[in-house]
Each structure stands twice: as structure tokens, then as C-alpha cells.
Structure 1
Amino acid sequence: MKPLWFIFLFLQVFVNLEFSWSQAVNTCEIGVVLHPHLYIAGIPLNGEAITAGRKLHFVCRADHELDGATQIECLKTGQWSAPFPTCSAIGCSIPQIEHGSVPTGPREYKENEVLNFSCDATYKRADDRPPRCTIFAGKADWNPTPACKPIQCELILPPPTGTTYDPPNRNVFSPGEMLRVLCGETHWILDAQTRESDVTCNYNGVWNAHTKCQEVKCPAYIEEDNLYYRVNAWGRNKLGDRVTYDCSWGYQTATADKTATCTREGWTPKPLCRAPIVCSAPPLLEDGDTKSYISSDSVFQHGDKVEYICQQTYTLSGEPFKTCDNGVWIGDMRCLKPCTVNEQLMNTHNIWFAHGYSDKLYVPHKDHLTFVCKRGTRRVGRVPMRVQCNDGEMTLPTCQ
């Protein structure tokens, strides 16, 4: 049995050893290579030791994000409560795009880099602006968000002033669908004499013609030959507006009150200033002719009229007469083309006439044709089986 003094001496030595060991491990050291973009708060100044309980706080540079703990503590064991964090550059990863795809390229994009992506067939980009990797509030994301939407033609609802649609109350149309645009009394579409038009949604999502009616306006300045001075009609050049004018010496005004009127044909009468002269042979009409034979050396008096007709299957647009007005023929007209459908064209689309049998047919402007699919095929696409001729243009349905 050991004497009591020996036991006491052993305990004293053990306590001293434990105290010395604790003193030795009661501090922590930064023994790692810190990331170059990592900032630390809490390190003692003047080379003082980092004792137990000391906490370090971490942040990264603005264009980097922290990977790891934002705070660690020095433990009594001389170890840190967690590993030192690192910083990684903030960037955008390749997004998942419904109905779209990203071609081969980098997996991560840096700030301000642009994403190149494409949309599937029958889809297009939802925003025309290129998506750019943008950092905001320490986070990176694509702006605008890369997305694809169905290819469609869109309309403004409600329609602009002077414009109505048929069918109404729709603003989205699929490729191949048709829309009738109707203009009010003081508006026009295609040309100043036309108040309605059938337009078709193309397969690129763009209408094949304008869908907005324009207000009828005449030139703001009248600079016709033989005027005494240029007429300023600014602000008074809408349909039905009237302005006064005067003619140069040797010419007389076409109206007794010396006024010009804004019409769909422009400022009338035409010309505003006239000498007492006759008209030569009337002008030719494309795809048409005068109703009666007129020789090239014919002479017409003021007020004489000549009637025009269009070739067979062509449709006259406008008044059929031109009038000799102090040496000038006035009156606007044109011949609208028919549509031609032949057997070769129908074979391409796998269709045939629904009524009657013919290998070729001419359809006048605005007339309709109805087709059926050939045996063993059915219609594809959105073009209806009954279509309309529009000045020589007709979109045919397709069967497969």
C-alpha cells in the first residue's frame, strides 16, 4: 500500500500536466491558405493569439459568393468549429427552357455574358432581348428570363380608333388563320380607297399585311402647278377639310369659291388651277380597257366621260368612269386579279374541288372555293377547306 504522501504527489503532478496541456491548446491558428476574394472580420490586432471563444466572420467580394460557414469559433481544444470557407465567382448556370434548348457552350456564365438559345418548331422567343447574366443583391440570374412561346399573330385590344375586327374579341391567331379588318368612314387600309382587307397570320407569327386602319389625310402642303402660292393646310388636312387657294395669272380656279377639299383621292378638284383646254385620249387601264373603241388621236371636251371595263375574270375596284376636267382625266380605278387553281397545284396539296370536276379554274376577287381532301388523306394545318381569293392571292389547304 502506497503512502498518502506519494498519492498526493502523483495527483499534484497530474494536475500540473493537465494545466500545462490546456494552456498549450487553448489558442487557435489560421493554418490554411485563404481564398483571395475572402474577407475576414474578428482577427486580433498586433499579432495577438486567437483564444478560445474568438469568432471569425466571413464575406466575399461583391461578385463572389461564400461556400461554407459565415462564422466559425475557436474551441478550447485549439480547433475551429468549422472549416474555413472559400469564395466562388457568382455566375448563371444553363437554364431549363420549356420548348427550347441551349446549344453546346459553357456550363457556367459570368456576369454580362449572353445566353444563346433556340426554340422548338412552332415556337419563338418570348422576349426579343438577349438574356444576359445579371447579378443583383448577391445573386445571379438571367435577365430577361429565357423562355419560348407559341408562334402566334397578335392584335391590339380594343382595336385602335377607326378599326374593327372580324371575328371580334380575339387578339391571338395561329398561323394560317385569317382576319378581316374593317375601317371606319374616315379611315383606310392598304390604300386610301380601300376600307376593308382580309389578312392572314404567316408561319413566322407576322401578319401578311397591316392590321391597323389609317386616318385619311391629305398632304399638309399643296404645291400643285399653277398655284399663285403654296397652300399651308397643316392641321386642316383631314377627310372633308377645306382650304382656300388662288391660281397664277392665266389660270382659273376649278371651283367658284376657290376652295380645295380633302378626299380619299387627295386634294380635289384636280387640277385646282385650269386653263380652258381639251383632253387627249384617256389613259390605259392595266388589265382593262375602255368600254368602247377610242383612237389615239381622239379629243374630248371638258366634262366628257369615258367608261372602263376589266378583262374577263378581273374585278373593277372604284368608279368605272374617268372625266375630262379642263384637260385632265380624273377618276381612279383598278382591276383586281383573279386566282388560278390548277390540277398540278391541287396535287401538291392533295386536294380537289368539292363541287364539280375541272383541272383548272379561275376565281374572281373575293369569291370563295371549297376543297376536299383526296381519298386516304386528311387536312393538316389551320387553313380552312373554304378559302377566298384576294387580288390574285389564295392560300390553299393541305391534306396528308
Structure 2
Amino acid sequence: MLLLINAILTLWVSCANGQVKPCDFPEIQHGDLYYKSLRRLYFPAAAGQSYSYYCDQNFVTPSGSYWDYIHCTQDGWSPTVPCLRTCSKSDVEIENGFVSESSSIYILNEETQYNCKPGYATADGNSSGSITCLQNGWSTQPICIKFCDMPVFENSRAKSNGVWFKLHDTLDYECYDGYESSYGNTTDSIVCGEDGWSHLPTCYNSSEKCGPPPPISNGDTTSFPQKVYLPWSGVEYQCQSYYELQGSKYVTCSNGEWSEPPRCISMKPCEFPEIQHGHLYYENMYRLYFPVAAGKSYSYYCDQNFVTPSGSYWDYIHCTQDGWSPTVPCLRTCSKSDIEIENGFISESSSIYILNKEIQYKCKPGYATADGNSSGSITCLQNGWSAQPICIKFCDMPVFENSRAKSNGVRFKLHDTLDYECYNGYEISYGNTTGSIVCSEDGWSHFPTCYNSSEKCGPPPPISNGGTTSFLLKVYVPQSRVEYQCQSYYELQGSNYVTCSNGEWSEPPRCIHPCIITEENMNKNNIKLKGRSDRKYYAKTGDTIEFMCKLGYNANTSILSFQAVCREGIVEYPRCE
């Protein structure tokens, strides 16, 4: 309240001293002050004061914004017109024209240009015009009206001197001497329409016109004949049912004569098609219309496991002069899933194959077709696949070591036998100079290898308290290995294998004695097994045996001696007294 009284006093003193006139509360047309109810109390306002304001919809400030500041000056409020009318580009409805400027909003008194499409002009005949944004909106809606330029005359001339013509304007023309219009007149008129001139102002040499086109047997023109046809006019022919048109179906007027007309050749009609493994769609309805003329087509479908020649389950069957096409509408299909191929596979990606289509298959490594190849083929026939593919086991010629084959074969089937013989001075593992191998599921039964007899070994050497894990042979081939094992409680020392090399065996292992803990020895030393009640106990070399004193006795040896270690059958007993 004090501020309000102070402002009023300031204004009164200013006026009394002859200073500038204050500004009353601004009445903003098409807008308002922000917080006007609150601010109204502070008016009139001194020069230099500014207030924010906003404009209503479709109005903007002189800066083009929807809000700005209004300033109190010595001449009153500025701007004097705070809110200016705006016009939207979207409000412009211009048929056959367009506004080329990119702005979408225009303020009061702003002008925008528009252009007419080719073949159209403004009311005053220009290709472009302008409209202005006024207080009530656009000054006018732009108009682009159809116009026609002066046409090109052929053997004729215009009877007026105009340059361009509005929609529905008429232009009269006359033919040169010896020429006439398509209707036989020497003068005519054309009208400017939406699509241009109604027709071209052309005149023709009367000697180059044609009369009606020639008739043909079993056929006629597709349009009503006229008395006169202009040069280069065309007429189309068609044949009656069950006749086929031969030659061009069009004739042309040239130099007063028609070109050669077509002929209508008699054709055999098509009876109702009996489609094996398929049917016409809606066949009961169509059956009434048969027989039909060549050129007719009908949709059909195939039964399950059959397809059309194009690979679809349906297609069109066509009546031709040679009958129905395709002649076999539905072809048998074969499925990849019906092929059972053991030890082989099909590498192609397709899953369905049509009649007479061939498919390749391959055998796994170590298998071949019945004729010895790594791959083969089967064909889709009317009753399914031509055969089930077979991949049988085979063995290639093996690698011979100190031996040679007794036959010249290259590939051997399952259970085939291959005989071989050793080179001089060599023999097989059984002491013979010839042998046989058999082709099995896992390959050859063994390798055809022969050995130098001087490099073989006899039975492996025996060891104490142990023996071999397999039955002994009389002869062992070079690099043969034999495994040893020890008796219970004996520890094997060294490699448990020996190898035959250059007629001798490698060093065999030893079987180390166990330690036997007896009740007699324990009683002598007044001790017993710790945590055990055994009267006799066997320990392997390297095992630790724990003892303890019997009840009422005390250790007479070191504590460590009560954890004795077995060393090759010998153990040192601790003693208690």
C-alpha cells in the first residue's frame, strides 16, 4: 500500500512540474498483460516502465513471438499495435497451384507468392500471383484457371489472333485448299478443356481417307464401322468362338487403302479337363460351359504329394489349338524325408522334388555305393523314389610293411579277404611267410606287416613274486610290449612294461617284499598296533606303521620309533618296558 501511495505521489509531482504524461492501463487488442489483475493497481505508470504481455491465437507481437514487452514512452505505449494478425499457409486452398515459399506463418500486411501448375494461369493470365495477410485473414484465395496456348496447326490456320485461351474458349480454324477436317468440312472449331484442346486442328487430303474396313469371314471389327476414316486410323478385329485369329488384329488406313486384314481359322474346342491327381476350382459350376474355345484359362489345384509344373499347389490350365496346356497338370513329388540312407547323406538343401527330378547323395568316408563310387543319385518317379540309396562298407588297399599283396584289387567290400606274402627273410607274427586280412566294419582286421625273424623275441623273463598280466607266447614281434604285475602286498619297482627290441627284452621290474608285523614280535617288545586289533599285519614298502605301548608299559625308545616305516620287508620295532 505504501508503494502504491508513493507511485501516485510521484506521478502527481511529475505532472505538477510539467514532466511527461504517464501511461494509463494498456488495452491490448487481441492480447493481454501477464498478471494484469495484480498490475492494474499500479497504473497510471511513468515513462520508462515495461510490462510483459501475450497475444491471442492467430496473433503475434511485432517481433513474431507470442509474447513480448510493451513500453511506456513519452508518446504513449510502444508498440502502438502490440498484437498483429497472422495468417497460416495451411489456410491457403489453391487448386492447380502451390505456394513456393517455405514459411508457414505470415504476419499482418505480409505478402506471399504462389505459382500455377503448367497449363494453368492466374485470372489476369500470369503464371504466378500474390496474396496478402489482412486483419480478417488472407486478402483472397488464389485462383489458377486452365488455359490453352495457341495449338500447332496441320494443313490449317486459325481464324483469330489470340495467344492464350481460357477454359471453354473456342478457337475457329479453316483448312488449306484441297484439305478438309475429319468430318469432311473445310472449317471447324476446337474448345479449350481441362485436358487441353478438344482435338488437334488438323486437316487431311481427301484422297488419302479410307472407307469402311474390309469384312472378314467368321469375325468382325470390335467397334462400329464409320463411313470415312482418316489417314493412319486403326481398326481392331476379333474372331467368333472356336476360331483363332491369324495375323495382326489391327488394320491401318494409309494412302486411301486399308492394310491386310487378319483371318479367322477354325479351331477344335476343349472338352472338360480330366486332371489326374487334381481338380478345377469350382468345377461343378464351370462344367456347364464346356466345350470352350482356345484362349480360355481356368485355375486348378493338385492333390497331396503332387504339384503343378511351376512347383506350386495351384496354377492355370489353358485351352490351346493343340488341347489343354500343360498336358500333365499335376506332377508327382518326392520328399527328402522319405529317403533312408545309412552311412551316407544328402547334401542338397531342397526338401521336395518333382517328377523326374534327380537328387545326389554321398557316402561317408570308408563307405561307397554298390558300384564302388563315393556318391550316387536317385530319381523321383511316379510311384516315389527310384530306389533307396545304399552306402556299403569298403576298405582301400592297405599300406604293406615288408610285404606285398597277392591280388591287384583297389577297393574291397565288407568281409572281403586280401592275401599277402612277406619279403624274403621276413615273416608274420605267427612265423608264417603268408597271411590274410579281412575288411570289417572297423577297417582291416590287422595290418599286413612282416618282421625280420632275427629281431623277434622269445617269452619275457620271469620275475620273483610276480608275473605277466597275459598268457605267454612262444614268439613276440619287434616292439611288442608285455605288462608285469606283483603278488599281493609286493610293491612293483621299475616300469611295469617290457619291450621287444632287436631280439631282446628291456629290463623287467622287481617285486619288493612286504613287511609282516606278527603278534610274536610285538609281544617281545611289549607293543601293539595303534588303532588296530590285527594279530598279523602286512605293509608295503614305504608304508608307515603306528605302534603304541601295551597297558602298564612305558616307551623305552624315541617317540619317532613308534611310527616305523617299511623298507623292503624290514621294519624296526619300538620297545616298551
Fold equivalence (TM over 0.5): no
Larger Rg: 2
Q: Which has the higher contact order (CA 8 A, sep 6+)?
A: 1
**TM-score with structure 2 length normalisation?**
0.21
